[in-house]
Structure 1
Amino acid sequence: LVLSFSVCFCITLCCNTCDDVREAYRRRGWAFKNADTIEQCKREGFTQRMQEQKNEGCQVYGFLEVNKVAGNFHFAPGKSFQQSHVHVHDLQSFGLDNINMTHLIKHLSFGKDYPGIVNPLDETDVTAPQASMMYQYFVKIVPTIYVKTDGEVVKTNQFSVTRHEKVANGLIGDQGLPGVFVLYELSPMMVKFTEKQR
């Protein structure tokens, strides 16, 4: 009892906010299970906030600049951090049975559009059949040059995609993390199109 009390006492003294407490737990490798037992989290209404947000969705848009090498990007719940040189997400406050990865990809391209280009993930609408699904989109990018009739050259890319999905348990390794992952690699070939004159 004394050891347990001193650990909790230490956390209470060293951390001013619920986020500070959660970070201290993460650094120690402890599970953050019941926020209602922690004074800072009770004071900030952490549990109530999580309940209010549990059915919310989000809209993400923007641009990424990446090197011309294989890579990935993803959208996943929880605060992300590095642990032992591994990218991890803290899902403790969500509970794995509450994570709905239903998603709509309005538009995804790797470079500028040109007349006639088909971006195969545009308007992809996926309804998750159950909680904690992991969706992986394996993308093959082909560098493309499009030459317009006026001589303007558009350097861009086109791509093909394969989708894989599975139930994730939120752990590192084969079981995966709930989320939407785009894993891409570049083709060593290039395609060139020349616009036809009308």
Structure 2
Amino acid sequence: MRATLPAALILSSALALTACAAGEKTTPLPADEPPPAAGMTDGATEDDAVEVTRAELKDADGASRGTVTIEDVDDGRLAVVVEASGLTPGFHAVHLHTIGKCEPNSVDPKDATKKGDFLSSGGHLGEGDHPDHAADLPPLLALKDGTASLRVVTDRVDSDTLLDDDGSAFVVHEKPDNFANIPERYASGGADAETKKAGDAGPRVVCGAFLPE
């Protein structure tokens, strides 16, 4: 009397033969190979990134608070890489601003009645309302020791815009960014004009200027 193979084994073998007949191949990823970094295109890795520009981050007293680097990743995408220290623990809004100036106690170029730290960097890059500016980025999370790291890929802005005649700036704000998300249950009209400018992120506490060569 012949032994019979289990039905599940027969079905598995049949499926495998069908796949081979169709020319299909499945190649498992090596167990130690990490997944691609978020925002990378096929075939692109962090090692492929080319540095476009770099700025030192400073507070209003002129103390160094780290660096921000812009990298050309692939296919018109830029990576913003931040390494910071000396921040208040918690979330901080971060944005790209229109002018490459990081002057403490400076005047807003569009409103001479306004004066404050790093106002010389101007408003956000891009048209429209927050959070749809080209400048708007995810928040930066400072740890208990005040250090923070961020790497985000964006296709909202290009290197020509960042490094135009007057450059641009990377600004860290004192408070978190609410992304102008004010539900109607809190305010019948939603976010007001002031909130739509910068998400109620508060004063500018750290700044780094990107300047054309």
TM range (shorter): under 0.3
Report the structure number with the largest CA radius of gyration.
Answer: 2
TM-score, normalising length from structure 1? Answer: 0.23
Considering Cα pairs closer than 8 Å and 6+ residues apart, tell me whether 1 or 2 has the greater RCO: 2
Q: Which has the higher helix share?
A: 1
- Give the TM-score normalised by the residue count of structure 2: 0.22
